[in-house]
């Protein structure tokens, strides 16, 4: 009931691999997020968008998972962006330093526009 509340799905738009994250990004999310990242990387994605849903719950374990994704993105010379984060989690991303490595957009459309010119 309270443990694993995350749905992860993959789609593509404008040559951007979009990973939709619906739910909580906590310790239970690790396998799902890493699997999705591996899949889009295997099909050659160079631009990846993590599309969050406003007001979901991200905790420090979730941040650690995302740092792991950034590590791989840097290693694989990909570009990573996020959209749909609440103001609170945008601030947390800035505090942690994730915003130095991830482009933060308000929503999916803005992200696709930004990534198209990147």
Under rule CB under 8 A, residue 7 binds other proteins: no
Under rule CB under 8 A, residue 2 binds other proteins: yes
Under rule CB under 8 A, residue 106 binds other proteins: no
Under rule CB under 8 A, residue 116 binds other proteins: no
- Choose the binding region for other proteins from 14-22, 41-49, 83-91, 110-118 (rule: CB under 8 A): 83-91
Q: Please write down the HEC assignment for all residues of 55-106.
A: CCCECHHHHHHHHHHHHHHHHCCCEEEEECCCHHHHHHHHHHCHHHCCEECC
CA 53 to the chain's CA centroid? 11
How far apart, in whole angstroms, are the C-alpha atoms of residue 55 and residue 53? 6
Contacting positions for other proteins (CB under 8 A): 1-3, 5, 24, 26-28, 57, 59-61, 63-65, 67-68, 70-71, 74, 86-88, 91-92, 95-98, 100-101
């Amino acid at each position: 009931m309270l443990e694993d509340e995350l749905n992860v799905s993959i789609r593509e738009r404008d040559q951007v691999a979009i990973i939709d994250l619906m739910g909580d990004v906590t310790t239970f999310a690790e396998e799902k997020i890493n699997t999705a990242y591996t899949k889009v990387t295997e099909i050659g994605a160079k631009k990846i968008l993590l599309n969050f849903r406003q007001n979901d719950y991200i905790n420090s374990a979730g941040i650690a998972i995302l740092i792991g994704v950034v590590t791989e993105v840097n290693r694989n010379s990909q570009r990573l962006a996020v959209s749909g984060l609440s103001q609170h989690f945008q601030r947390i991303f800035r505090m942690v330093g994730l915003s130095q490595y991830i482009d933060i957009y308000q929503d999916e459309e803005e992200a696709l526009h930004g990534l198209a010119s990147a």
